[in-house]
């Protein structure tokens, strides 16, 4: 057996999410034998019918549509079982075969239960400055794991409902008092915890009936495919700007989004990686509050929002838009050892530029009248240094090759390559999965 077999392609988001990773993942997965979702939960938004604007998956990789591809929900994930069950039902309604052979759930993956979402909201309410993060239960589920009381898929499989009680016993008294009113009229802590445990256990029993078929030990499957010279794709939710260590404090997710963490959470060694694809879009967006150096406001924001046409349903605050930040992007490329770049929404930024008269790209920062080209710890007082580019109009006939792009769009791509020192090998030119130039 080979000790090292470089057959893995990683997909890494390099900004603050919503870069179009699903489109790139779908392309890279078309010839893969195995796809591993290694981190995160319900936030990937992958198209399942060839159109980005239609039915989407939040947990199961879109590679499930490939006839001979195995999809694994890895041990680093925190999974909402109800969302997963809904996705399985959706896929079956679309005629997709779902079986134990093509969908596997790691027994080590964490479980997101309803009280995790309530707990997210509880802790958000305690913050002096709310950050408008998604209250999807991820933070509380990952936090429970650090307290050694996290509920895992193996607990669902074996009916270890005592694990629920163990976790509830670690939660704040006022949260238990508030949440238990849904299930018990008595306010005593022990009675409330018993009532909550009983309710959650009944819910988990239903999850067990639907999901036990897919929960299993997955490392042996990963190892077998790893050493059979077949392609493996590793993807995760979140992006490097949201990394728990490297991201801005107000933005970060409760897990690491770096390339090294993605591969580690999948149970695969670093030397088995062949390519690391970094995904960025031609502008920036953020959903949380906090410093955003290239943010646009007023009329310019309205133009961005109109042409970007990004989904803001369910957000707790309007999405924030900004120009492409090549200082941030270069830093993310370097720290994640990116081997090739994918730039999406090249059509969108062209249309935005046509309305505004030009396209801005941040190529440096100014802080206290000093010019810098690195990411400072304190970004509150940082001002962007912009380079202005001419906008472009995409041809009515969809571009299939790089040469067919307008000259100004090519200059935009060349500027990214020059400052990041990495080739842009994939270019998204529209909303459909087929709108992708391969260089």
Q: How far apart are the first and last CA of the chain?
A: 34
**DSSP output for 122-166:** HHHHHSSS------SSHHHHHHHHHTT---BHHHHHHT-THHHHH
* Structural tokens at position 217: 């030990």
Q: Among candidates 360, 272, 298, which has minimal Cα distance to 36?
A: 272
Q: What is the pLDDT of residue 398?
A: 87
Residues in Cβ contact with 323 at an 8 Å cutoff, skipping those fewer than 6 apart: 283, 284, 294, 296, 359, 360, 361, 362, 384, 386
Q: Taking CA 52 as the corner, what is the angle to CA 207 and CA 83, rounded to the nearest 5 degrees?
A: 10
Residues 123 and 95 in one domain: no
Residues 343 and 253 in one domain: no
Q: What is the pLDDT of residue 184?
A: 60
pTM: 0.92
Residues 142-164 have pLDDT tens digits of 999 999 999 999 999 999 999 99
**What are the φ/ψ torsions at residue 403 (nearest 5 degrees)?**
-65, -25
Residues 203 and 125 in one domain: yes
Tell me which residue range forms the domain holding 62.
8-106+215-275
Q: What is the pLDDT of residue 393?
A: 94
Q: What is the pLDDT of residue 183?
A: 63
Residues 234 and 94 in one domain: yes
Q: What is the pLDDT of residue 249?
A: 67
Q: What is the pLDDT of residue 316?
A: 61
Q: Indicate whether 339 belongs to any domain.
A: yes
Residues 326 and 368 in one domain: yes
Q: Indicate whether 197 belongs to any domain.
A: yes
Instruction: Say which CATH number the domain at 376 has.
Output: 3.90.170.10
Q: Quote the CA–CA distance of 264 and 252 in Å, as a whole number.
A: 19
Q: Indicate whether 49 belongs to any domain.
A: yes
Q: Among candidates 60, 89, 14, 46, which has minimal Cα distance to 341?
A: 14
Q: What is the pLDDT of residue 174?
A: 86
Q: Quote the CA–CA distance of 126 and 121 in Å, as a whole number.
A: 9
Domain stops at, among 211, 230, 257: 211
Residues 189 and 296 in one domain: no
- Counting the structural domains of the chain, the total is 3
Residues 303 and 429 in one domain: yes
> Tokens 């919503």 correspond to what residue?
18
Q: Which residues of the chain have pLDDT under 70?
A: 1-2, 43-55, 132, 182-187, 249-250, 311-316
């Amino acid at each position: 057996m080979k000790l090292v077999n470089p057959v893995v392609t990683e997909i890494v988001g390099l900004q603050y999410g919503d870069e179009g990773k699903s489109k790139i993942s779908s392309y890279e997965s078309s010839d893969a034998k195995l796809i591993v979702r290694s981190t995160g939960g319900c936030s990937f938004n992958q198209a399942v019918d060839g159109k980005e604007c239609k039915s989407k998956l939040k947990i199961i990789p879109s590679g499930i549509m490939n006839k001979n591809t195995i999809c694994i929900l890895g041990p680093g994930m925190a999974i909402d079982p109800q969302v997963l069950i809904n996705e399985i039902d959706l896929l079956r309604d679309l005629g997709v075969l779902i079986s134990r052979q093509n969908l596997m759930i790691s027994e080590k993956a964490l479980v997101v239960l309803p009280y995790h979402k309530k707990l997210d909201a509880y802790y958000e309410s305690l913050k002096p400055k709310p950050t408008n993060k998604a209250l999807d239960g991820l933070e509380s589920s990952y936090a429970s794991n650090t307290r050694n009381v996290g509920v895992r898929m193996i607990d669902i499989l074996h009916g270890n409902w005592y694990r629920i009680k163990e976790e509830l016993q670690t939660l704040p008294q006022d949260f238990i008092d508030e949440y238990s009113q849904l299930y018990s009229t008595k306010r005593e802590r022990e009675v409330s915890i018993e009532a909550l445990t009983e309710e959650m256990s009944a819910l988990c029993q239903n999850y067990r009936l639907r999901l036990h078929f897919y929960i299993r030990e997955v490392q042996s499957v990963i190892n077998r495919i790893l050493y059979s010279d077949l392609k493996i794709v590793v993807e995760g939710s979140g992006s490097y700007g949201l990394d728990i260590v490297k991201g801005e404090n107000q933005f970060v997710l409760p897990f690491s989004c770096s390339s090294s963490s993605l591969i580690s959470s999948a149970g695969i060694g670093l030397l088995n990686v062949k390519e690391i694809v970094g995904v960025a879009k031609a502008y920036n967006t953020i959903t949380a509050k906090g410093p955003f150096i290239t943010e646009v406001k007023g009329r310019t924001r309205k133009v961005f929002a109109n042409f970007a046409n990004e989904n803001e349903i369910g957000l707790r605050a309007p999405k924030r838009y900004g120009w492409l930040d090549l200082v941030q992007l270069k830093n993310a490329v370097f720290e994640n050892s990116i081997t090739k770049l994918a730039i999406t929404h090249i059509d969108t930024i062209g249309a935005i530029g046509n309305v505004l008269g030009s396209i801005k790209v941040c190529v440096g920062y100014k802080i206290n009248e000093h010019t810098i080209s690195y990411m400072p710890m304190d970004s509150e007082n940082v001002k962007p240094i912009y380079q202005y580019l001419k906008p472009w109009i995409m041809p009515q006939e969809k571009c299939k090759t790089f040469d067919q792009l307008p000259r100004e769009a090519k200059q935009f791509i060349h500027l990214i390559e020059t400052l990041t020192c990495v080739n842009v090998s994939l270019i998204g030119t529209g909303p459909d999965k087929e709108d992708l130039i391969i260089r």
